[in-house]
Amino acid sequence: MTEDVKSQTTEKLARFIVETKFEQMPSQAVETAKRAMRDCLGVVFTGVVTHEGELITEFVRELGGNPVAAVIGKGFRTSAPLAALANGTMAHAEDFDDWTFATLGHPTVPMLPAILALGEQRKATGKEAIEAYIAGFETQCATVRGVSASHYMRGWHATGTIGTIGAAAAVAKLLKLDVQQTRMALGIAASQACGLRQNFGTMTKPFHAGNAARNGVMAAMLAKRGFTAHPDIMEERFGFFNVYKGNGQGELEQATDGLGENFSILTFGIAFKLYPSCGETHAAIDLVLDLTKKHNISPQDVESIEVAVDELTSGVNLYTDPKRGLEGKFSLEYCMTRALLDGCVSLEHFTDEKVNEPKTQQIIKKMKRRIDPNIPPLGASVTVKLTDGREFSQQADAPKGSPQSPPTNEELVSKYKDCAQLVLPLKDVERSLHLMENLEELKDLTELLEIVIRPK
C-alpha cells in the first residue's frame, strides 16, 4: 500500500461527510433513512417506561445542564450531550431498534438521539437531519469495512464503538464543520469509542448506545471549538482501524472504496425488528410461531424443540437458562418458549417475573440448541418433536423484517403507534407520525421535539 493511500483515509471520510449533499442522495436512500429514523423515535418511547429509562433520566436530571435539548417523554430539557445520552439509552433499552450487517449492529440508535439533540439546539431542518443521518450511516459502514467483522468477533459491541464514529459524523454534518474540523471530530470520537459484548443482557448494553450518541455530540462540538486530535486517526499505526480490528492491519483501501458513489444503506439495507429481542433470536421465533400455527401445536404436546444456528448467532445469545428479563432478550431458548406459550413475543414478556414463571422454566428445559455451520447468519432451523412421536421441521435463512423479508409500511406505522401510545396522547402520536413521514418538509426540528417531550 502506498503512503499516499494511507494518508488519505480519514481525509476521504471527512470530505465525504462535508461535501455530500441531500440532493445527491438517492431518493430510496432518503426513504430508508426516514423509515429508520421514525422507527427509532418510536422505540425511544418504549424505553421511557423502563426501569433503565428511569435511572438514566434521573441521572441526567440530577446533572442539570443548559436546557436546550429535549429528553423525550420526560418533560424536561438538558444539554445536547446529556439529552443524547438519555434518549439513546432509552432507544436501545428494549432492543427493539433496527440493525444491519453493514454496521455490525444497530445503526440508528447512536445517531438519531445525537441528531435530535443538536438539531433542536440549532433549529435544524428535517432535510438537514436526513442528510446528517445518511452521512453518519455511510461513515459507520466505511468504518466497519476498515476493521472487518473480526472487530465484533473479538467482543466489541459495534453499536457502541462504530456508532460513536457515526454519531460524530452525523453531528459534524449538522454543525457544518469543514474538512479539517471533521477530521478532528473523528479523532476525538475514536478515543471515546467503547462497548463490550459481555454486557449484553444488562442495562449497560443500552447505555452503550446512549454513550455513543453523547460522545459523538461532544466530539463534534469540541472540534467546532478548535479542540484537536490526530488528523489521520483511522489509518495510523495506533489508530482506529489497526487497534480495533485487533487481527492484522486495518483494511484502508476497502474502507473508502466507492464512498459517495455506492450507498450501503441501499446495497445492505436496514432490518426492522418485529420482536423486542436480539435480532439473532428472530428467525427462531418466526419458525416456532409458523410451526405451531401450521400444525396446531399446544405447549403440552411438545416433547422437545431443537434449534440449529450458526456459531455467531449462538455466541450472541449468551443465556441458555435466563433468570432476568434482560437476559431473556439474548436467549434463543426463552424467546422460543414465549412464542410457544403465547403465540407472540412482545414487550410485556421480558420481565423477571415472566422469565421465572414455573411453566416458562419447564418449557425452557425442553429447548435444545446446536451449532450448524450450514445455517446462514441470522437464519435458523427448528425441529419440534411431539409426545405422540410426530416431528416437524422448518428452516429460515433470514427473519421477517430483514431486507430479505422486509416489513410493510403499515407494519412499521402500527409499531410506531403502539410504541408512542405508551407515552403520548393519541393526538400527539398522530402529529409526530405525520412529521416523521414528511420529515424533509419540516422547517425546524423543535416542532417535533415540542411534541415528543411531553408525557401524557
Instruction: Inform me whether the pLDDT recorded for 2 exceeds 90.
Output: no
First to last CA, the chain: 58
Residues 102-116 have a mean pLDDT of 97
Instruction: Inform me whether the pLDDT recorded for 90 exceeds 50.
Output: yes
Task: Look at residue 247 in the predicted model and tell me its pLDDT.
Answer: 75
CA distances, 195 to each of 230, 322, 328 (Å): 22, 22, 20
CA distances, 251 to each of 110, 125, 158, 235, 257 (Å): 24, 36, 17, 9, 10
Q: What is the pLDDT of residues 232-252, one digit of tens each?
A: 999 999 999 999 997 776 678
Q: What percent of the chain has pLDDT over 70?
A: 98
Residues 406-423 have a mean pLDDT of 97
Residues 43-69 have a mean pLDDT of 97
Please tell me the distance from the alpha carbon of residue 427 to that of residue 414, in angstroms, as a whole number: 15
Instruction: Inform me whether the pLDDT recorded for 93 exceeds 70.
Output: yes
Residues 323-330 have a mean pLDDT of 96
Instruction: Inform me whether the pLDDT recorded for 189 exceeds 90.
Output: yes
Provide the 3-class DSSP secondary structure of residue 105: strand
Residue 381: beta bridge partners? 308, 395
Residues 261-271 have a mean pLDDT of 96
At 377, list the grid cell: 447468519
If pLDDT is split at 50, 70 and 90, which confidence band does 7 have? low
Q: What percent of the chain has pLDDT over 90?
A: 95
Q: Is the pTM of this model over 0.85?
A: yes
If pLDDT is split at 50, 70 and 90, which confidence band does 253 have? confident
Task: Look at residue 250 in the predicted model and tell me its pLDDT.
Answer: 66
Indicate the average pLDDT of the chain: 96
Query: What are the structural domains, with CATH classification, of the chain?
Result: 3-273+407-452 (1.10.4100.10), 279-396 (3.30.1330.120)
Q: Calculate the CA dihedral of residues 82, 85, 90, 94 and round it to 10 degrees.
A: -170
Please tell me the distance from the alpha carbon of residue 456 to that of residue 142, in angstroms, as a whole number: 41
At 27, list the grid cell: 431518493
Task: Look at residue 3 in the predicted model and tell me its pLDDT.
Answer: 45
Residues 17-41 have a mean pLDDT of 97
Name, in order, each residue with C-beta under 8 angstroms of 219's C-beta and a sequence gap of 6 or more: 164, 167, 168, 171, 172, 185, 186, 188, 189, 192
Name, in order, each residue with C-beta under 8 angstroms of 303's C-beta and a sequence gap of 6 or more: 366, 385, 386, 387
Q: Cα–Cα–Cα angle for 350, 302, 319, nearest 5°?
A: 35
**Other residues' Cβ atoms within 10 Å of the Cβ of residue 360:** 20
Q: In the chain, count of helices (H) and strands (E)?
A: 22, 6
At 135, list the grid cell: 452521512
Q: What is the pLDDT of residues 342-397, one digit of tens each?
A: 999 999 999 999 999 999 999 999 999 999 999 999 999 999 999 999 999 999 99
At 201, list the grid cell: 443482557
Residues 100-117 have a mean pLDDT of 97
Q: What is the pLDDT of residues 50-59, one digit of tens each?
A: 999 999 999 9
Please tell me the distance from the alpha carbon of residue 335 to that of residue 309, in angstroms, as a whole number: 14
Helices (H), 246-396: 252-256, 264-267, 282-294, 311-316, 325-328, 332-342, 352-355, 358-364
